[in-house]
Amino acid sequence: MDTPRAAVKLSDISAKFTEDTLDEIVRNAGGKRCISWKIPETNFTKGDAYLSELYRIQLTGEPNEPDREPMVVNVVVKTIPKNVGRRNTFRSADFFRNEANFYNVVLKELYRFQDSRNPKNPFKDIDRCFVAYTDGVNDFIAMDDLGQYGYKTASRAKGVGLEECQRCMRALGRFHALSLAMKEQEPDRFHEIAHQYVEETYYDARLKSWYNNFLQVQLGIARDAMAREYPGTDLERTMEKFFDCDLYDHMVYLTHARNQNSVINHGDCWMPNFMFHDSTPAMRMIDFQLARYSSPVLDISFFVYSCTSQELREAHYQDLLDAYYGGLAEMLRDLGSNPDVVFPYSELEKELKQYARFGCGMGIESIPFSLLDESDVPDLDKITGDEAIAIETIWILRPIASQAGRLRLTDMFRHATDMGVELDECLRCIRSLARFHALSFAMKRQEPHTFQTLVNQLQETYYSARLVPWYRNFMQRIVTIAKEALAIELAEDPAAYSASFQRQVESFLDGNIYGMMVELTHTRNQYSVITHGDCWLPNFLFHPSDHVRMIDFQMVRCGSPVLDIVLFVYCCTDQALRSQHYDQLLGAYYQSFSELLTDLGTDPHETFPASALSEELQRFGRFGCGIAVESIPLSQLDESDVPDLDSIEGTEAVPLEQIMTVRSIKTRYGRRRLLDIK
């Protein structure tokens, strides 16, 4: 091979980036082999890559056809930093491994699936990867150099206009559609790649010590911006409520919560990772180091809050959602799936309500970063030694100097407040429960005989002494899972839970939980009402007009209203929301209860005073713990683990534990979610 003299050698890029690699790149570009190469002067800046080093290389390749001119392949090579301290500080090996898996396995499988369906307009909006290699030391990823085709990134500081944003949202919708269609049509293979080849590289309980202090710096910058632009306002108080929790833990919750709508996410949807063609509507997505498997709204909200202005959001937020869903629905149909079945627009609205806060969490980092002047970007290669150092000691973020920059950050919360988030849904549910319970109190007071007649027709369907043989072994399996979760968490982080807490949990799990639940569901007093019995989120339907409808009353019973309250609170909220808004939820419950009871002609302070609610919570609150021991392990099941109940053969009942094969909780997030209930 004719190798010219060059200032940079191949080994300077990576010890594993060899002439064989160049041949592989040319072959993957459609040629036969590399016949020469050169490394030109690069114009990359310090802010172009925080987790890697960048090189450009131009290859001349021998074509497969003998009479053709030599081909030119322009490549951008992203490599793991040579500086070991920098590499360890930013955990570069984890990010390179995740991105290499995305290109080598995940994207290839998504494209294979797409090709098998032969769509009219295939998705090809991701930059082509020629080769990706990782070993934790010599990692590199060689990509097609989009600059040669006229692609450029937009300004980080200025953002982009509506047309560019719609192009990005449409591309995200089409990308997510690949996951949804493959999950429907090839579920086993999809779950294999999603769970084995995509890892959470940013928000995970094991990474909290790496990132949390730097996150606190970002929170300080956000508070400073709000205090300077909206001092003493409701917006400032709203932001403080948003931050009045362990934000990192909440981001862990949002990234790890999965359901039938979860997709492969880009993960890092800020403007530098979208490249726009200078003369056509074409665009390309780059940089998948943060790819994750989670709600599609994580990508949507990240993009909306990090890449658009408040003015654009106020005028065109619905246009952006329409562009996203239009691209998704069109792609799904092109792949042979029905969007109205696989992911109807109503599901997108639900996901937005539940997960849009993620965009605010990412925005407090990405917006200050996007406003940095190049002179403020640190030289990461000045890190000395091999040991990792605290991120906040090398990335010195300061309060945002410009009013425009501060408003860009604070207005993000203004829009999120206007849109509503998960708390809003919880408040709507708890108010509906309260009004439902008020009917019982009023009828019991005004038509006691009729009310008692109704109660006598109810039958306990879940917790009853006669059902112990049906449920005993399954409950034992659930308790074992909870004990395993406690043991693992105590071993990994002994300081996280006190000895007193450990004793309380062990005592609870060693007790007769099913017997306790039988006692609590059968105890009646003057405050007993007709309860829903199974009030977790899937049994609440939401309308954009704020109306709520409750469904599925198969477990309706007469019992303390607290049975419904604690079931909802412990099964439908995370620790961050409870620690921040528990009193607000109870206040909303009692206010709605009192309003309807008064409207029905009964005095709430005489019939069920607030002090009685507090006493009932003390007496029956354990019910929530008992429910959570079962419901949280079930909620952690992968879709692939959910049994096909129609596979039961014959007419005889089979033991629950044989068909409901609940496994140990794999993630630290899941284990902590269970232990946080206690």
**Residue 228's CB: how many other CB atoms inside 10 A?**
14
Looking at residue 190, its amino acid is F
User: What percent of the chain stands above pLDDT 90?
Assistant: 61
Query: What SS3 string covers 545-566?
Result: CCCEEECCCCCCEEECHHHHHH
User: What is the mean predicted confidence (pLDDT) over 479-498?
Assistant: 84
Q: What pLDDT is attached to residue 490?
A: 85
* Residues 274 and 336 both lie in one domain: yes
Q: In the beta sheet, which residues pair with residue 144?
A: 75
Q: What is the domain range of residue 530?
A: 422-640+650-676
Quickly state the pLDDT bin for 678 (edges 50, 70, 90). low
- DSSP alpha helix (H) spans, 371-447: 391-394, 403-419, 422-446
Domain assignment present for 245: yes
* Residues 177 and 301 both lie in one domain: yes
Cα(179)–Cα(184) distance, integer angstroms: 9
Length of the chain: 678
* Residues 399 and 433 both lie in one domain: no
User: What is the mean predicted confidence (pLDDT) over 359-365?
Assistant: 90
Q: Tokens 């708890």 map to which residue?
A: 430
* Residues 296 and 322 both lie in one domain: yes
Taking the CA of residue 416 as centre, how many other CA atoms within 13 Å lie in the half-sphere pointing to its CB? 32
User: Highest-confidence range of 169-173, 364-368, 643-647, by mean pLDDT?
Assistant: 169-173
Residue 22 has pLDDT above 60, yes or no: yes
User: What is the mean predicted confidence (pLDDT) over 371-382?
Assistant: 82
Domain assignment present for 357: yes
* Residues 471 and 552 both lie in one domain: yes
Among 398, 419, 440, where does a domain finish? 419
- Helices then strands, counting H and E runs in the chain, come out as 29, 14
Domain assignment present for 81: no
Adjacency order of strands within the sheet including 129-133 = 31-38, 53-63, 71-79, 140-144, 129-133
* Residues 387 and 465 both lie in one domain: no
Buried b (16+ CB within 10 A) or exposed e, 628-662: bbbbbbebbbeeeeeeeeeeeeeeeeeebbeebeb
661: which 2 tokens?
A: 């094969």
Query: Are 633 and 674 a contacting pair, CB within 8 Å?
Result: yes
DSSP 8-state assignment for residue 98: H
Q: What pLDDT is attached to residue 387?
A: 94
Beta strands in 190-232, from DSSP E residues, in sequence order: none
Quickly state the pLDDT bin for 485 (edges 50, 70, 90). confident
Among 370, 392, 419, where does a domain finish? 419
* Residues 236 and 329 both lie in one domain: yes
Looking at residue 16, its amino acid is K
User: What is the mean predicted confidence (pLDDT) over 499-528?
Assistant: 92
Query: What SS3 string covers 615-643?
Result: HHHHHHCHHHHHHHHHHHHHHCCCHHHCC
Domain assignment present for 353: yes
pLDDT digits (tens, 9 = 90+) for 382-404: 899 999 999 999 888 889 999 99
296: which 2 tokens?
A: 């599609």
Q: What pLDDT is attached to residue 420?
A: 46
Q: Which residue has the higher pLDDT, 526 or 655?
A: 526
Cα(365)–Cα(350) distance, integer angstroms: 25
pLDDT digits (tens, 9 = 90+) for 84-119: 999 999 999 999 999 999 999 999 999 999 999 999
> The whole model's pTM is what?
0.70
351: which 2 tokens?
A: 């996901």
* Residues 530 and 605 both lie in one domain: yes
* Residues 396 and 426 both lie in one domain: no
Among 419, 437, 463, where does a domain finish? 419
587: which 2 tokens?
A: 């206040």
Domain assignment present for 363: yes
pLDDT digits (tens, 9 = 90+) for 549-581: 999 999 999 999 999 999 999 888 777 677 778
Q: What pLDDT is attached to residue 417?
A: 65
Domain assignment present for 136: no
Q: What pLDDT is attached to residue 44?
A: 59
Q: What pLDDT is attached to residue 272?
A: 87
Domain assignment present for 107: no
Q: What pLDDT is attached to residue 416?
A: 74
Average pLDDT value over all residues in the chain: 89
Domain assignment present for 103: no
* Residues 222 and 330 both lie in one domain: yes
User: Highest-confidence range of 171-180, 223-232, 639-648, by mean pLDDT?
Assistant: 171-180
Cα(468)–Cα(536) distance, integer angstroms: 24
User: What is the mean predicted confidence (pLDDT) over 81-86?
Assistant: 94
Nearest to 665 by CA among 676, 653, 649, 652: 676
Q: Which residue has the higher pLDDT, 45 or 125?
A: 125
Quickly state the pLDDT bin for 421 (edges 50, 70, 90). very low
Between the alpha carbon of residue 150 and those of residues 38, 283, 353, 656, 669, the distances in Å are: 21, 10, 38, 61, 44
Residue 11 has pLDDT above 60, yes or no: yes
Residue 42 has pLDDT above 70, yes or no: no
221: which 2 tokens?
A: 């910058």
* Residues 472 and 549 both lie in one domain: yes
Nearest to 292 by CA among 354, 196, 357, 199: 199
**What total number of domains does the chain contain?**
2
Q: What pLDDT is attached to residue 185?
A: 97
Q: What angle do CA 652, 654, 658 make, to 5 degrees?
A: 160
User: What is the mean predicted confidence (pLDDT) over 653-666?
Assistant: 82
CATH (domain of 582): 3.90.1200
379: which 2 tokens?
A: 């030289």
* Residues 622 and 574 both lie in one domain: yes
pLDDT digits (tens, 9 = 90+) for 522-556: 999 999 999 999 988 778 887 766 688 999 999 99
